[in-house]
A and B are shown apart, each in its own frame.
Chain A
Amino acid sequence: MKKVHASAKEALAGVLRDGMTIMAGGFGLCGIPNVLIEAVKESGVKDLTVVSNNAGIDGAGLGLLLETRQIRKMISSYVGENKLFAQQYLAGELELEFNPQGTLAERIRAGGAGIPAFFTKTGVGTLIAEGKEVRNFDGHDYVMETGLFADVSLVHAWKGDTEGNLIYRKTARNFNPMMATASRMTIAQVEHLVEPGALDPDHIITPGIYVKRMIHVPDVEKMIEKRTTREKPAA
């Protein structure tokens, strides 16, 4: 079965529908599946629930889908860098579910691993725990959180072979490996597409079983949100 598609549009063909839940990897603008997000924008699909740690920035990443009002609800841990998001949220046009970052990561991991719920001490005694079951284990309280599973996951990887085995680069890994496991239709954009055998099997982070479709994005644009540098010491 051929996993590699010629374009993002072709890779998304037949999988998008209004009201669906999409996971999008990335932390800030690092490791985001930007080419696939652009294709979601062009498809015009709407009323989306999007699971992603952040909501992009104005004009980039998931910010693109906010401009076109294709997102109905976000499940995120931090959305501070996006003015359009704030506007739409305060106007009541956008629903928002905040999850603590580690709880979000674990909900996705659990969802992909067939675990419907788990207990964590994160958020006990806070707004996050309201309405959720709290149980005591060994003298400590833990709140129950549920696994997350999406209709489609969009991920970015550094290298991938045509079987869908993926390797990530540096901190661009972030949420991508868990999201790759937590949907029935995971689509990966890879910077370097290679033949099976070219990747060291010991280095593969996401086994190809999780990846249904892929595209090759050799010249993908990577943005830096906060460029910070230091002075070179005098020679």
Chain B
Amino acid sequence: MAWTREQMAARAAKELRDGFYVNLGIGIPTLVSNYIPEGMSVQLQSENGMLGMGPFPYEGEEDPDLINAGKQTVTELPTTSFFSSADSFAMVRGGHIDLSILGAMQVAENGDLANWMIPGKMVKGMGGAMDLVAGVKKVVVVMEHVAKGKDGSESPKLLKGCDLPLTGTRVVDMVITDLGVFSIDKEGDGGMTLIELADGVTVDEIKARTEAAFKVAV
């Protein structure tokens, strides 16, 4: 049994620490906010200019001036501060954010990340992804272990080297997929290590569905 999206988010939440300032990407990473342990103080940063992001508003209380980086309506908390985009990315680039959790198309065994562009398809833009992976202290990718084609075919997303245009080089510290958890030695030559298995998943199954070389420490 592979992990569900919710289980992947719950696993990612284990990387949170008391006092952390965290940026969550769109998709599964957003779900991580539902798993912040009781009593732990975690402030969410939204790169459009907000620190201390609250939950979605009650119906009828939406404020067009109060949105997150996914352009969704959100709310303030007593801890909230607002600032400009330049201040927001000073915070990001300057290494003041503790943790970034985001999705990916491909991750390489050296920590290279591709998540913004497929050549030949309409490119939407990188938004703040390149700044986040370059500047945030710890970068955790949450993604499906393989990409599934329309015809049901599978292609690996954990690769020896990314073939899509990069978002950043040697930036990913950890990858959480539906099959398990990998750590990456992005600064050194330690490569990728499988450190946890999802319930009922075997190392052999992961090996069969992974192109990247990895050590096993489960």
Q: Which residues of A line the B interface, CB within 8 A? A: 27-31, 53, 76-81, 86, 89-90, 98, 100-106, 108-109, 120-128, 158, 168-178, 205, 222-232
Contact = CB atoms under 8 A, between A and B. Distances in A.
Contact of A228 (B56, B84, B89, B129): B56
Given A30-B48, A30-B67, A229-B58, A126 B168 contact: yes
B72 interface: yes
Contacts, number: 180
B109 interface: no
The 8 closest A-B pairs by CB, nearest first: A102-B89, A102-B131, A80-B124, A125-B169, A222-B64, A78-B125, A100-B130, A105-B85
Contact of B131 (A122, A205, A230): A122
A229 B73 contact: yes
A178 to B, nearest CB: 5
22 contacts: A27-B71, A30-B48, A78-B126, A81-B71, A102-B47, A106-B93, A108-B86, A126-B130, A126-B168, A170-B66, A171-B46, A171-B49, A171-B67, A171-B68, A177-B84, A178-B85, A178-B86, A225-B67, A226-B73, A228-B73, A229-B62, A232-B58
Contacts of A122: 93, 130-131, 134-135
Contacts of A230: 55-58
Given A27-B67, A101-B126, A171-B66, 17 more contacts: A27-B85, A28-B67, A80-B124, A81-B71, A102-B130, A102-B131, A103-B131, A108-B86, A123-B168, A125-B166, A127-B166, A171-B68, A173-B83, A174-B48, A227-B73, A229-B56, A230-B57
Contacts of B167: 126
Contacts of A89: 122
Contact of A126 (B71, B124, B169): B169
A76 B65 contact: no
